[in-house]
Each structure stands twice: as structure tokens, then as C-alpha cells.
Amino acid sequence: MAKKILIVDDEVHIKMLLEQTLEELEDEYDVELFTASDGEEGLAFIRGEHPDLVFLDIMMPKMNGYEVCRIVMEDEGLRDVKIILLTAKGQEVDRKQGLELGAKMYMTKPFDPDEILKVSKDMLGL
Amino acid sequence: MRSLSIFKKTGILAVVLFGVVALLTSALAAYMLHDRMVAEYVSKGTAIAQSIAGASQDILLNRDAATVQAMIDQYLEIEGVAYVFVRDADRIVVSHTFVPEMPARLATLAEPEDGVRVVGMTVESLGRVIDVGAPVLAGVAGYVHVGMSKELIMRYFWATVIRMQALLFVALLVCVGVLFVVTRRISRPLQQLTEYADRLASRDFTADIELTSRDEVGHLGRTMRAMARELARLFTDMESEVNKATGELREHMVYLSAIIDNLADGLLVVSPTGAVSVVNPAMREFFGLGDKDYSGFSAADVFPVEVSDLARAIRSCEGVIQSAEIPLAEGRIGMAVGSSIMVAAPVARCLGGVVLVRDVTREKALDQLKTDFISTVSHELRTPMTSILGFARLIGKKLDSAVLPALGDNPEARRVAVQVADNVDIIVTEARRLTDLINDVLDIAKMEAGKIVWHDRAVFMGDVMHQAADATRGLWSAKGIEVVIEMEDDLPPVRGDHSRLVQVLVNLISNAVKFAPRGPVTCRAHLDRADVLVSVADHGPGIPASAMDEIFDKFKQVGDTLTEKPSGTGLGLPICRQIVERHGGRIWVESEVGEGSVFFFTIPALVARAGTGDIDDACRAMLPEPDSAMLMRLPEERNLPPLILVVDDDPILGAYFTELFEGNGFRVMVAADGEQAVVMARDHMPSLITMDLMMPGMDGRTAIRCLRHNPFTRHIPVLVLSALSDTATPGCDLSLTKPVDDRRLVEVVRALLLRKDVRHSCLVLGDLDDVTVEGLTVFCPDDTTFCPPQRIWSHVERGFRGLVLIPAELAEGIDVDLLARVPGVTVIIMPARTGRGKTI
């Protein structure tokens, strides 16, 4: 069964960057990429499709990343979804908050595409 | 009437004096008159007696009584003569002038024998008389007696006295009259002066007096007038002085109350009983009080509970200055500061308290704005940077992986493609620089805004240096420069934020590597008095003396920025300075152009170095021997709850803490003094020590120094529980002031135990020197704990989850399989080390 990666970011360019970076995985492995443009859309996708890995931006309209992360982690059925928080905020408080909510990782923008690839492979066990 | 009283006094005096003089004068005159008249009467009587005696010799001898009678009758006519009688030699009265007969007293009168004899006597019907007796013919013919009436003399005497007295009385009357007139003339000006003085006494300085006389009274008047003028002047001066002072006082009061009224801060003064005494307009506005006068009201009735609580805390002058954030009217926020009002002189007493309330809504908003700004800038800059950097790298990658192979052998196209790839690399490099700059700018902005959360704990500089060296490995290994770490043995830890100190060293090492054409870069750390001194030396171009201070300023780099392309952000050193200064240290550089530079920084050491005399002999005696037979004595702690060592000299408190901690599931041991504590800590390795400071023998501070000095007890958290709240105790992890709330104490103990085990995500067995550090920082980017092999299970029991790194030579003594089965624990066996290389 194909592994599903969801990218949730309101910034079109960041979404594109992540998509294009992760396309490499799609070519090599059995991986499917999905995107969402805000928190609500992302949450709806997670609930419907149960992706394996989610790149979740924190500052987003409608519902922020923390909120999405909290709801997902509180849901017994979704707890195994691995969430990587992406943020431009580098403050330690944010980092702590994200990890306390159950996110697996916290990545600060700007990030290195290679790092994204490496982390994704680790998380998906590829 | 004053004048009459003077007159009366002088009058009485005059009358008395006059009377005495008159009486003495008249008495003297009367006495002299009486004397003279007696003498005259005696001589007159003598003359008469002798004349009769002369003329009557014959007659007597002849016994012619009738003739004698006729003769003596003649003499009776003479004034003053009272009687005349003649006796013969036989003392028989021949004739006499008595009618009808001679008094018996005279009949017995003795006769004078020789010459005239004068005798005073009183005779009935004649009164007092002077009898002058004279013999006739020596008594042969008989005797003649002439009686001179003394009554007559007395009559003259009294008449004289009465006349004289009458005259003197008249004279007295005249005198008194004159006296009256004179006194009146003297007393009138006196009375005027009196009236004048009366008016002066009633402070009527307009009064004046007419002075014409040149006598004493006039002089007195003039003196008085001068005095009155002087008085008036003094009085006026004084009045104007008083008026001036009052005016100044009033002005000062107005000034003060104007200041109070115009204070932008709200001011509330409460009396020691809690009554409101002063409320300024700003305070009224802050709490929407209106114009009502609240003097005397209880502060609790007028102000919200936050303010009245503050007022209560300070009004009796027992507390210290207190402050609190309080909500104001209209949703504003105030910062209230309360202090007591004490007067020192003349008697120290408490006048109540002052509460000042400052509207900090704006400051709060600004503060929030600053936070928001940092956060926004960080977001707004980083997001596009992500796209730039990310896409540039993707382009580069795709050029390599897809475009270049597709170009085949077309040399022109390949050349262009390679150029594009180079250009993309430039974009990546520059984007990275920009990212660094953004990070640095935000870092320094956060530090300056106080938005950094510092995680202070005991930090070993050796860890920091190794971690920094490793973090910069990419830089120096690419350039072929070696980084050497030299560290003094037994270097005490410092208190600080581990990752920030790593940041300082990373900055210094990367600077050194960046500027130096050749290696090595040497990092040294040693104890310099109370500080740990760290230096990073390079063989770079050096820094001119003129720039040595500047380089720590923001955006300053050595060299001409127009001709020499700066590399780096120019913010690395300013950030270093911020971090070092925040830790209470100092950063500077020593350099020689062409030779290289040495950057130094100091961080205050947590405990004094061993063997420098700072540790008591008692303490040194307890230190473990250099070979660590110590390790063998460590008891097995598996499956046991954490052990707490309670150090307190008070057995009651010791028992109390034992009960409290045991009740909360800990094991407890009690030590009664510092020495015992150090020994017990060494022998039993407690998980935590609670320490009293004031103890007999070795006190708490020394005990902490000993504990920190011993490598095996150094890591044990020490919680100081002391009645002294004066200064922080060096070397302790936390201090609480007695009396301690039970719940809080247990919470703090749990937090200390937890912090130690949970925050450290890496556990390395053995000491730093036993472990090859190579690769360590890759596994353990943050917190690393070193622990003796025997301690591993107690760490795990107490909830340690994370990486456990075990050097291969220690692995045999540990049940690695069991350890690896603990959920959340990952075991990594490190290859046997090949040498004790500190160089990495």
C-alpha cells in the first residue's frame, strides 16, 4: 500500500517547493503526495485519508498548525500519523509547544530540501 | 489716680517728717524756755530775798512785824512771786503773804544755814513753787523765804508750745499745698508716659507722645519713644518675615500639591490604620473615582482588592517595597509599587504607606508589539527565503540530475548549463548568508528585547568546547584546519545556558577558521581566579588595535567594506558579547596584525578550584583518592525510589522532613552537619540533597563546595533550605527560604529530580575523558549527562528515556539486553577507543 504524505501550507511557493522536493520519493518509492492550503482542509484530509506523514505549517488561516496537531493527536485513530511542524518562528516557546502537542519534529524555515528528503525517508521507514 | 497716689505718699511722708521736726523743735524750744525762766525766776527770787533780807535786818531785830508785813506785801506785786514770808531766828513766822494762813508744808521748811538755798516743791493751793530762802544777818536776825510760782512758767511754756505748733501747722498746710501742685506737675507727664506705654503694650505703634520737658521724665519719654520706634520696626520686620515665611510655605505647599496633582502616576497615601489620606487626580482617573473626597475612608472600601492588599502590606512599615500588576478602569493595566513612609527624626515612627500606580498599558502594548515584530519579521523573512533557497537548490539538483545528462555532447549548451549551475550555487550561498543574517539579527533583537529564555544549569566548559568544535566540523575540515582543545583538569563548572555558550564558541571558532589561512585553531579553558577563562587562538591576519573594541559592535567588521568583501553577518561577535555579558562574564580580543588573534571570554565559575586553599582541610580529607575505588562502594540502587539526603542540625526538622519525604514515596537519610552530609553523600549517592546553611561544624556552604568539588557528588542536585534569605548560595541548584510550604517543597524536589533525568536526552557512561567524543554531538545535540556505570539503572528507574551511550570497554559490566528492552531507551555501544585524543 502506498505511503501517503500530506503537505499543509497556505504559502503556494512553499507548498510547491515541498511537493517538488518530495517528488523524488514518489519516483523511487511507493509514495503518494497530497496538499492542502489551510488547517481545516488539512484536518479534513487527515481524517478522511489517514496519511502516514504530514508536513504541517503553523501559521495558517482558518486553523493553525498547533490546533490541527492537537486535534489529530487527541484522536485515538489518528495518533500514529507522524506530524512534522514547519515554522518560520524560531522561538523556543513555539518549539516546546509543538513537541508537547505530539509532533514528531519541528523544522524551522528556511529548510534544506535534502534534509526534508532525509527526514521523510526516516519517518516512513524507507 | 496715679498722681494722687504719688501725692498721698509724698504728703504722708511730708506730714510725718514735718510733725517729727515740729515736735522736736517745739520740745527743744519749750525746754530751753522752761530752763531760762526757771533760772530767771530763781535769780529774781534770790534778788527779792536778798533785797528783803538787806532791808529787813533792823526791822527784824526790832521785831517790827507791821513794817515787815508792809514791805513783803510790796514784793508780792512782782510777777511770778507766789508768796513771801519772813521768819525770825527762832523760825517763827514774823509775817507772811498767805491768805488766810500759811500752808503747813512751808511751816516745816528747813532754814538755810549759809547763803541762799533754792528748793522746788509742791504746795497745796499754790501748786509747784520754787522756794528761795535767804538768811538775814547769817540767820541771826531771821530768814526770808520767797516762793516763785512755777505754774506761771508752765503757762508760758505751754503757750509757747501751742503757738509754735500752730505756726508749724500753718507752714505744713502751705507745704502740702505746694507739694500737691508740684506732684501734679511731675505726675502729668508720667501719666502721659503711662498711657503711651499702655498703648505700646497693646501693640498700637501709631501712638505718639508730646514731649516738652527736658527733665528726667522728658528723657525717659524720649527713650521710650525711641524704644517704641525700635519695637515697631522690629515688630514690622518680624511680621514681614513671618508673612514671607508663611507665603513661602504656602507657595511650597501649592508647589508640592501641584506636583502631586500633575503626577502622571496615580498616588495613594494611606495611614497606618489603612485610612486614605491623599489621592491624586491620576489615581482618581485610574480607578474612576470622580471628585468625591475620600479622605478618611478605608482603602479597602474605595479601591479594588489588588490595591488595598498592597496598601495593607506596606502601611505598617513592616514589609519591604512591594509591587503588583493591577487592572485599571477602562481595561487599562497598571503597575503598582507600594512603599512605607518612615520618619527617622526626631522619633522613628511609621506614617503609613504610599502606593504609586503607573499606567503601563502602553509599555505592555509596546512589549507585545516588540514580540509580535520579532515573530512577524521572522516569519515574513523566512518564508520567502525558504522558497529562494529551496528552489535554487532544486534547480541545482535538477540541472545535475536531468538537464546536464540530457544535453549530450553539445559543448555550448553544456558550458551555459554549467554556468547556470554555478550561478545557482551563488544564489544558494548568498541565500544562506542572508538566512544567517536574519537569524543573527533576530537573535540579537531577541536578546536586546529580553525575549530569550535562558536555561541555566551547571555547565562544563569542556562539553561546550567539544560540542562547538563538532558543530563547526564542516567548516574547518573543509579548509584543512585543525581545531585543538586544551583543557585544564578539574575545571569547575559554570552556571549558564549550555546551548548559548556553545553558540559563543561556535561563533569564535568559525570566525577563526574563516579568517585564518592555516591552522591550528586552539581552544583553551582554565580557571582564572573565580572565573573560567576560555580562549580561541588563530593564526589569521590579526586585528588592528584600533578595531579591537569595534568588532564587538553590531555590523562592524575589520577592513574596508568597500574593497574587501565581508563574509558573515557582522553580528556574530555582538551576539557573543550579549551572551557572555548576560552570564556575568567579559569578552575581549588580543591580537597582533599578521600574527593572529586570541579571543578571550570569562564566565564566573560555580565553585572554587580544588586545592587552592578555598576548600577546608576537613573537606579535602574527605575527597576520594585519585584511584577510584570509590566506584566500588556505590550501593546497588535498582528498583528503589530516589534517595533524599536531608541535612539539618535540628533533629525535629530532620524528623519532620523524613516524614514528609517518605510520605511522598522517597527514601530519606538525615545528616546533622556538613561533614556528615559530605561523607553520607559520598557513600550513599543520594538523588538529591536538602541543605540547611547554618549548622555547627562544617556549615552548609562549605558542604556544598565539598560536594561540588568531588567528581562523584558534583552532579547531585542540592536544594538549600535556610532561614537566611540574604544571598544566593553558590553551587546550589535552588534555594528555598524557611518556613517552607510542604507542597511546594515536594514539588520543587520532584522538579529537580525530573529536570535532571528528563531533560538530559543523552546519557553517557563513564567520564568525558573515558569517552571518545567523536560523533557524540551528532547523537546528542543538546543535553548530555555523564554518569558512572553503576548509576545507569538508577537513572533509568527514575524515568530516563533517550540515548544511552556505552563505551565498549564498559559494556561488559552492564546488562545491555535488559537496558535495551526498556521502552524509550536506545542503547549505543561505542567502539573501543584507540587513544586518548583530545584533538578531534
* CATH code for the domain of B695: 3.40.50.2300
Final residue in a domain of this structure, among B135, B162, B189:
B162
Task: Give the residue from B381, B383, B801 with the most A CB atoms within 10 Å of its CB, the best one to mutate.
Answer: B383
Residue A12's CATH number:
3.40.50.2300
In a domain, B427, yes or no: yes
- CA of B418 vs chain A CAs: smallest distance (Å): 21
Do residue B432 and residue B519 come from a single domain? no
Q: Please report, in angstroms and rounded to a whole number, the separation of the first and last CA atoms in chain A.
A: 13
Nearest CA in chain A to B390: A113
B718, B731 Cβ separation under 8 angstroms:
yes
Do residue B11 and residue B150 come from a single domain? yes
B120: containing domain: 2-162
B753 grid coordinates = 529530580
B561 grid coordinates = 567594506
Other C-beta atoms closer than 10 Å to the C-beta of B262 total: 10
Q: A23 and chain B: CB distance < 8 Å anywhere? A: no
Give how many domains chain B has, as a whole number: 6
Tally of CA atoms within 13 A in the half-sphere of B263 that contains its CB: 23
Q: Give which of B662, B660, B699, B661 is closest to B677, Cα–Cα.
A: B699
Q: A11 and chain B: CB distance < 8 Å anywhere? A: yes
Do residue B309 and residue B371 come from a single domain? no
Task: Print the SS3 string covering B7-42.
Answer: HHHHHHHHHHHHHHHHHHHHHHHHHHHHHHHHHHHH
Would you call B390 and A89 a contact, using CB atoms and an 8 Å cutoff?
no
CB pairs under 8 A between A and B: 65
**556544598: which residue's cell?**
B704
Do residue B626 and residue B549 come from a single domain? no
Q: Region of B99 please: left (phi>0), alpha (psi -120 to 50) or beta.
A: beta
Asked whether the whole model's pTM tops 0.95, one would answer: no
B602, B473 Cβ separation under 8 angstroms:
no
Which of B230-238's residues contact partners 24+ apart within 8 Å by CB, and which partners? B231/B200, B231/B205, B232/B205, B235/B203, B235/B205
**521710650: which residue's cell?**
B224
Q: Give which of B674, B759, B658, B755 is closest to B713, Cα–Cα.
A: B674
- Tell me the β-bridge partners of B802: B825
Whole-angstrom Cα distance, residue A30 to residue B415?
36
Which of B580-587's residues contact partners 24+ apart within 8 Å by CB, and which partners? B580/B504, B582/B447, B582/B454, B583/B494, B583/B495, B583/B496, B583/B497, B583/B501, B585/B531, B587/B504, B587/B552
Query: What pLDDT does residue B829 have?
Result: 67
Do residue B11 and residue B88 come from a single domain? yes
pLDDT band at A33 (very low <50, low <70, confident <90, very high): very high
In a domain, B552, yes or no: yes
- CA of A43 vs chain B CAs: smallest distance (Å): 22
- Tell me the β-bridge partners of B536: B523, B599
Nearest CA in chain B to A23: B394
Q: A114 and chain B: CB distance < 8 Å anywhere? A: yes
Q: A14 and chain B: CB distance < 8 Å anywhere? A: yes
For residue A64, list chain B residues with Cβ-Cβ distance below 8 A: none
Do residue B626 and residue B535 come from a single domain? no
For residue A112, list chain B residues with Cβ-Cβ distance below 8 A: 389-390, 393
Cα dist from B826 to B601, B763, B816, B823, whole Å? 37, 10, 10, 8
Give Cα B807 distance to the centre of its chain. 64
In a domain, B201, yes or no: no
Give how many domains chain A has, as a whole number: 1
A120 grid coordinates = 521523510
Query: What pLDDT does residue B620 have?
Result: 59
Residues of chain B with pLDDT under 70: 1-4, 319-320, 554-569, 607-639, 711-712, 723-731, 737-739, 754-761, 767-784, 797-799, 801, 808, 820-824, 826-840
Final residue in a domain of this structure, among B546, B575, B604:
B604
- CA of A35 vs chain B CAs: smallest distance (Å): 17
Q: A107 and chain B: CB distance < 8 Å anywhere? A: no
Q: Give which of A68, A43, A44, A71 is closest to A58, Cα–Cα.
A: A68
**Maximum alpha-carbon separation in chain B:** 232
Report DSSP state, residue A65. Answer: H
Amino acid at residue number B299? A
Q: Say which of A13, A59, A114 has its CB closest to residue B379.
A: A59
In a domain, B610, yes or no: no
The 10 Å CB-count burial string (b at 16+, else e) for A80-105 is: ebbbbbbbbbbbeebbebbeebebbe
- CA of A109 vs chain B CAs: smallest distance (Å): 6
Q: Give which of B288, B264, B260 is closest to B363, Cα–Cα.
A: B264
Q: Give which of A76, A126, A73, A77 is closest to A104, Cα–Cα.
A: A73
A51: containing domain: 3-124
Whole-angstrom Cα distance, residue A97 to residue A89?
12
> Which ranges in chain A belong to alpha helices (H)?
12-28, 39-49, 65-74, 92-100, 113-124
The angle at the Cα of B420, spanning B419 to B425, to the nearest 5 degrees, equals 95
A71 grid coordinates = 486535534
In a domain, B255, yes or no: no
Residue B465's CATH number:
3.30.565.10
Query: What pLDDT does residue B761 have?
Result: 64
Q: Say which of B374, B385, B453 has its CB closest to residue A110.
A: B385
Residue B720 CB partners (closer than 8 Å, separation 6+): B690, B691, B692, B693, B700, B704, B729, B732, B734, B735, B736
Q: At CB < 8 Å, which residues of chain B contact A?
A: 374-375, 378-391, 393-394, 397, 431, 435, 439, 442, 446, 451, 453
Task: Print the SS3 string covering B350-382.
Answer: EEEEEEEEEECHHHHHHHHHHHHHHHHHHHHHH
For residue A109, list chain B residues with Cβ-Cβ distance below 8 A: 382-383, 385-386
Do residue B434 and residue B535 come from a single domain? no
In a domain, B468, yes or no: yes
In a domain, B223, yes or no: no
Do residue B634 and residue B649 come from a single domain? yes
Q: Strand, coil or helix: what is A1?
A: coil
Q: Residues B501-558: pLDDT tens digits?
A: 988 999 888 888 888 888 788 999 888 878 889 999 988 888 888 777 778 876 665 5
What percentage of chain A has pLDDT greater than the value 70? 94
ipTM of the complex: 0.79
- Tell me the β-bridge partners of B147: B83, B131
Final residue in a domain of this structure, among B359, B375, B393:
B359
- Residue B537's H or E segment, with its range, is strand B531-537
For residue A111, list chain B residues with Cβ-Cβ distance below 8 A: 386, 390
- CA of B380 vs chain A CAs: smallest distance (Å): 8
Q: Give which of B516, B438, B427, B424 is closest to B479, Cα–Cα.
A: B516
Cα dist from B32 to B22, B39, B40, B121, B156, whole Å? 15, 10, 12, 21, 12
Query: What pLDDT does residue B251 have?
Result: 92
Residue A33 CB partners (closer than 8 Å, separation 6+): A5, A7, A19, A22, A23, A26
Do residue B628 and residue B730 come from a single domain? yes
Q: A10 and chain B: CB distance < 8 Å anywhere? A: no
Residue B66's CATH number:
3.30.450.20
